[in-house]
Amino acid sequence: MNALPAESLTAEQRIAMDFEAAERLADAIVERHHDDVRGRITISPQTHHRASSFGYPCDRRLYHDIKDWQTKAPVDPQVQQYFDRGNDQEGIIERILSRLGFRIISSQVALYDEELRIGARSDGNIVEHESGRVLVAELKSTDNAKLLACRTVDDLRQDKWGKRYHIQVTLYMRATGIGAAVLILWDASNWRPVVIPIPYDPILSEQLADRARRLNDHLDRNDPPGYINDSRECRHCPHFARACSPPMSFGVGAQILTDEELLAELERHTEIEAIGKEFNRLDAAIKGRLKGDKANPQDGLFIIGPYEIHRSVGDRKGYTVQATKTIKVEWEKVA
């Protein structure tokens, strides 16, 4: 490093040297972050079930989690970054709640059910001011628009992630004997809470307990449960093609398509899916608010910030709907 005295440098030289330093610094930050993320990807021994994994539908996966943790695939660095973001934001969310007067207590207390062999580390409890009652609190920061659209337990049950979180907090309630929980979803894009109150469901709790007993029986006999017969679950499973090699079938009559344009469109769809969902959610929310009183709609002109909004009311023609065939397609990126 040739450190010339600052006064002997021309303005161009100083800019060039500073810019080189900025480029080195930019590379160093990205590289260190990359190493930092990879350094935290570890496989740790698992000796009991985890409440946070109980939402996975495949019994065999939960069996291998314990029997074959050594051969489990490490998490993808992108997924590790999501975990890191969640963990970092959890502390921030706790601080915001505290500022609002809602303190999380008994944070990160380890819970263990001896009979079921289920361990848990809940985010903690929270006190409702009026009654003084202590409730289970589960914090999740997310930008999953579908999950963030949930408002009730029934909504959670319809959503893949919501269902998992419902199962998780049910096990926390079972372990603590607390009769209700609040799932605090923190919208990481719009930075606001979506809070869903959840009552303890004894029937679901017993179903989960039965599942644990069944799994423990398999574990004691060294006899894995059957395959799930759902290739989508298997492709995301850390035991796939490792401890578990399920017979994969694409079903009778699957055709291989070779349309490059369609493939490019599917790839682009995957890239912008999250943005699209966010757009649709906002679009529906904004239109809903701007339509005003739907029972008594009125024309109008509104101004907000730089936006000029026109509302015009018209008549919609009525048609008789003809019966047609419905065609439903779903897709998922599997490799």
Give the footprint of ligand SF4 on this chain (CB under 6 A).
Answer: 58, 60-61, 64, 227-228, 233-234, 237, 239-240, 244, 246
Q: Are 152 and 168 spatial neighbours (Cβ–Cβ below 8 Å)?
A: no
- Rounded Cα gap, residues 263 and 255, in angstroms: 14
Instruction: For the CB of residue 233, give the shortest distance to ligand SF4 in the complex, in Å.
Output: 4
Instruction: For the CB of residue 63, give the shortest distance to ligand SF4 in the complex, in Å.
Output: 7
Instruction: For the CB of residue 240, give the shortest distance to ligand SF4 in the complex, in Å.
Output: 4
- Residue (13 or 229) nearer to ligand SF4, CB: 229
| Surface-to-core class of residue 144, CB atoms within 10 Å of its CB (0-12 exposed, 13-18 middle, 19+ buried) | buried
- Residue (202 or 226) nearer to ligand SF4, CB: 226
Instruction: For the CB of residue 241, give the shortest distance to ligand SF4 in the complex, in Å.
Output: 8
- Residue (40 or 67) nearer to ligand SF4, CB: 67
Instruction: For the CB of residue 147, give the shortest distance to ligand SF4 in the complex, in Å.
Output: 22
- Residue (148 or 228) nearer to ligand SF4, CB: 228
- Rounded Cα gap, residues 195 and 184, in angstroms: 5
Q: 302 is written with which tokens?
A: 């509104």
Q: Are 212 and 116 spatial neighbours (Cβ–Cβ below 8 Å)?
A: yes
Phi-psi map region of 101: left, alpha, beta (phi>0 left; psi -120 to 50 alpha): left
Instruction: For the CB of residue 226, give the shortest distance to ligand SF4 in the complex, in Å.
Output: 8
- Residue (65 or 123) nearer to ligand SF4, CB: 65
SS3 180: strand
Task: Kindly report the three-state secondary structure assignment for every residue of 57-112.
Answer: CCHHHHHHHHHCHHHCCCCCHHHHHHHHHHHHHHHHHHHHHHHCCCCEECCCCEEE
- Residue (184 or 244) nearer to ligand SF4, CB: 244
Instruction: For the CB of residue 58, give the shortest distance to ligand SF4 in the complex, in Å.
Output: 3
What does each C-alpha distance from 42 to 81, 104, 183, 323 come to in angstroms?
A: 13, 29, 28, 56
The torsion angle over the Cα atoms of residues 35, 41, 42 and 47, rounded to 10 degrees, is 160
- Residue (115 or 223) nearer to ligand SF4, CB: 223
